[in-house]
Structure 1
């Protein structure tokens, strides 16, 4: 399998090298990181916030699958904003 990846290129290595720009919401940073699964994208990402000098991170994964990466990123941001409004810093407990 490694031979074919080198011959035809591997998408996984490209996606790990890309920089993700966070979306700022209140004092939180939202990093959309959709996971590709069977030609669709699972809504996933991170919510981060600095609390008392320490960067706290909550990994966010949903069961929703969408047909485009852009849609999965957009939906992840919206869902994260609602989650932040509901949970606040409790998400890091």
Structure 2
């Protein structure tokens, strides 16, 4: 898959589809749910980051262009990148 077709599938909904979500991980008051997306025989780094409960809950869909050859590696990279993003942005991730 070329770079342009990969970007096109990211924005057009292409062939990437989230897989069944993993266990929720709490990190600094945020909840991270890895959701690797199968994409052309590989897995795209993706997760849902939430904070709060009920009507106060905020949600951010975390999707990156990184592709990993296997699901476990993708989840590991996803957790590393989501934690780094939370460290850098904090609550600004939702705005």
Deviations 1:35-70 (A, max 9, x none): 001110000011110179611011000000000111
Q: Runs of 5+ in structure 2 lacking a partner?
A: 1-16
Partner of 1:4: none
CA RMSD of aligned residues (A): 2.0
Question: Taking structure 2 as the reference length, what is the TM-score of the superposition?
Answer: 0.74
The residue that corresponds to 1:48 in the other structure is 50
Count of residues paired in the alignment: 78
1:57-89 deviation digits (Å, cap 9, x = unpaired): 110000000001111111111100000000000
Q: Does 1:91 align with 2:67?
A: no
Q: How does 1:1-93 map to 2 (within 5 A)?
A: 15=19, 18=20, 20-50=22-52, 54-93=56-95
Point out 4+ residue stretches in structure 1 off by more than 4 angstroms: none
The structure with more radius of gyration: 1
Indicate if the aligned counterparts of 2:43 and 2:74 stay in contact, CA closer than 8 A.
yes
The offset of 1:20, in angstroms, is 2.8
